[in-house]
Amino acid sequence: MNTNVYNFDSIKLDKRKSLLAAGELLYPYSYDVLYQINNIILEVEELENTGKPINFLVQIAGRVWSKRKMGKSLFLDIKDDTNKIQLYANKNKLSEQEWNSINLLDLGDIIGIRGEVFRTRKGELSIRISAFEILSKTVVPIPIGKQTGEKTYNQLSDVETKYRERYLHWMLNSKDKEKISLRFKIISEIRNWMISNDFIEVTTPNIEFVYGGAEARPFKTKIWALNNQDAFLRISPELYLKRFIVAGFPKVFTICQNYRNEGIDYSHNPEFTMIEWYEAFTDYNFQMKRFENLISSVCEKVHGTTKITYQGIEIDFTTPWKRLTMIDALKLYINIDANNSDVEVLKLELEKREIEFQENITWGVAVAKLFEETCEENLIQPTFITDHPVEISPLTKIKRGNNRLVERFEPFVCKMEIGNAYSELTDPVVQLERFMQQKEMQAFSDNKRKNYTDNPIDADFIKAIGCGMPPTGGVGIGIDRIVMLLTDTKTIRDIIPFPMVKPKN
C-alpha cells in the first residue's frame, strides 16, 4: 500500500501495529465522557473556595497535546473542546500493558482517561490516571506547537494548509475555530429571527435550466437523465421565491448557496451563502426597517450590543440607519446634481475622473458608475443607498414620482454592499419589456462578458407573475459579508468553512 499521498508516517504506522498486537482496540465504538475539562476546573475552584478536598474522580476524553516522560512518571496534556489539563501517569499504578501503551502515544492521539483530580507540588491542576483507553491512534503527524516560556515552536502557520486542510487548521487554531462556530451561530440567529417574524423557510432548485435573478456567469452542467440537457447552478433564488408569492405564500425566505463563475478574492468565493426573503403587500420602505432590525438584533444576540469594531473602526448598527438616495449621495460626496444633468454632462464627469465607460452609456448607467467609483468608499456606518436608476434594476418597480429611478435599496457598511432589496416589479408586461431591454444591453456589452451563455428569458416566470403577484417587498443579504463584519474578519475565506482552493496537481 502506497500511503505517501495520505501523509501516513511509517513510525506511527508501526506504533499502531504494535498497539493492535498488544490488544488495544485503537478505534473503539464509544466512550463515556463524564466531564468536560472546563467543568472540572470550575468544580475545583468551587471546592477550593469552600476549603474542601478536590480529590474527586473524573472521566474525560481529548487529544494528547504534550507528552513529557520522566522515569517512571509520565505527564500528558490533553485538550478537549473546552480546555486543556495535565495528566499524570505512574508506572506502578498502571498495568504493564497500559504503561506500554501510554508510552506509545503520539501528540494528537485521542484518549479517554479516568482518574482523580489533584494538584502537584507546583500547584498545577492534574489528573492521576487510573485507567485509560486509546480512542483514536493518529497515523498522520499533527504539527502541535510547543511552548517554552515565551517561545512557541513548531506552530503550523502555512497559509496553504490553513485553507486546504481545514480540519488541521481548526484543530490547531482555536480562534479560527471559534470564528467558524460564530458563523453558524449567526446563521441560526438569522433563521430564528425570520421564523419568529412568521416567515416560512423554503428551498429553490440548485440546478436550473434557465438561470436568472442576477447578472453573473453561471456554472454549467448536463443532466444525464434528460439526454444530457444543459443546466446551470443557481446564481440567485429570486425567480423561484417569487413563484411562492404568486402561489399564495405571503412570507417566504431561503438560506442558500449561490454559485457564480466569477473572480475569487478577499470578498468573493464562487459559492457563497445568501438569505433572501419576500413579503407580500409590503414595499421597500417597510423592508428597510426589517433589514436594520434583523441585523441589529442578530448583532445584539451574538455580541450583546449593537456596536462592533471592524478592522479597527467602530460600527454602530443601532436603528434607524442612515438613508441616502443615490442622487443625494452624488450631491453630497462629489457635488454633482445628477437629476438636472444630462448624460453628456455625466460623461464629462466620468472622464474627469478617468472612469472608463462605453460610448453609448445611458444616464442611469452613468449615475451608477459615478456612484460606485466615488461614493461607496465613504459609506462606513450602516447606510441605505436608495432609488437606483432603472437600467440597472430590471426586477424593480419604478420610483413613485420619478420614472428614471426605481424603488430599491442597498445597505452599505464599511464600503461593502451587504444586501439588495426592491419594491418588486409585479406588472408582467413591464417585466417582459425589461427582460427584453436587458438582453439587448447584454448584446452590446463589452467582450469581457462575451462568454456568458446566451440565457433565454424565463418564460414560466413571466407567466407566473402574469397569474397575479401581490405587491411585494424582497430582500437579499450576503451572509458571508455579514459574518465578516460580525467576526471582524478581513477575508471571506476565513469565514467560509471550505473555501475554494485550486486542486493540487
Which residues would be at the binding site for RNA (CB under 7 A)?
9, 11, 15, 66-73, 75, 77, 86, 88, 90-92, 104, 106-107, 118-122, 124, 126, 128, 141, 143, 145-148, 153-161, 163, 214-216, 260, 262-268, 368, 392-395, 420, 448-449, 491, 493, 501-502, 504-505
d(CA 180, CA 365): 38
Nearest to 130 by CA among 59, 37, 30, 66: 59
Taking the complex as a whole, the smallest distance from the CB of residue 297 to RNA amounts, in Å, to 26
Taking the complex as a whole, the smallest distance from the CB of residue 319 to RNA amounts, in Å, to 26
Q: Which residue, 149 or 401, has its beta carbon nearer to RNA? A: 149
CB-CB contact of 207 with 225 (8 Å): no
d(CA 260, CA 499): 14
Q: Which residue, 258 or 306, has its beta carbon nearer to RNA? A: 258
Q: Which residue, 108 or 382, has its beta carbon nearer to RNA? A: 108
Taking the complex as a whole, the smallest distance from the CB of residue 224 to RNA amounts, in Å, to 28
Q: Which residue, 94 or 486, has its beta carbon nearer to RNA? A: 94
Taking the complex as a whole, the smallest distance from the CB of residue 197 to RNA amounts, in Å, to 25
Q: Which residue, 158 or 230, has its beta carbon nearer to RNA? A: 158
DSSP 8-state code for residue 16: H
d(CA 475, CA 307): 23
d(CA 30, CA 233): 40
d(CA 113, CA 78): 10
Examine residue 320 and say whether the peptide bond preceding it is cis (omega within 30 degrees of 0).
yes
48: cell is 477550593
Taking the complex as a whole, the smallest distance from the CB of residue 290 to RNA amounts, in Å, to 20
CB-CB contact of 480 with 495 (8 Å): yes
Taking the complex as a whole, the smallest distance from the CB of residue 195 to RNA amounts, in Å, to 27
CB-CB contact of 500 with 257 (8 Å): no
Q: Which residue, 70 or 225, has its beta carbon nearer to RNA? A: 70
Q: Which residue, 183 or 481, has its beta carbon nearer to RNA? A: 481
311: cell is 478592522
Nearest to 477 by CA among 238, 278, 274, 205: 274
Nearest to 280 by CA among 246, 329, 310: 246
Taking the complex as a whole, the smallest distance from the CB of residue 108 to RNA amounts, in Å, to 9
As a whole number of angstroms, the longest Cα–Cα distance in the chain is 92
CB-CB contact of 278 with 472 (8 Å): yes
Taking the complex as a whole, the smallest distance from the CB of residue 282 to RNA amounts, in Å, to 20
Q: Which residue, 180 or 392, has its beta carbon nearer to RNA? A: 392
Taking the complex as a whole, the smallest distance from the CB of residue 423 to RNA amounts, in Å, to 14
176: cell is 479560527
SS3 per-residue string spanning 462-502: HHHHHCCCCCEEEEEEEHHHHHHHHCCCCCHHHCCCCCCCC
How many angstroms separate the first and last alpha carbons of the chain?
A: 21
Q: Which residue, 117 or 464, has its beta carbon nearer to RNA? A: 117
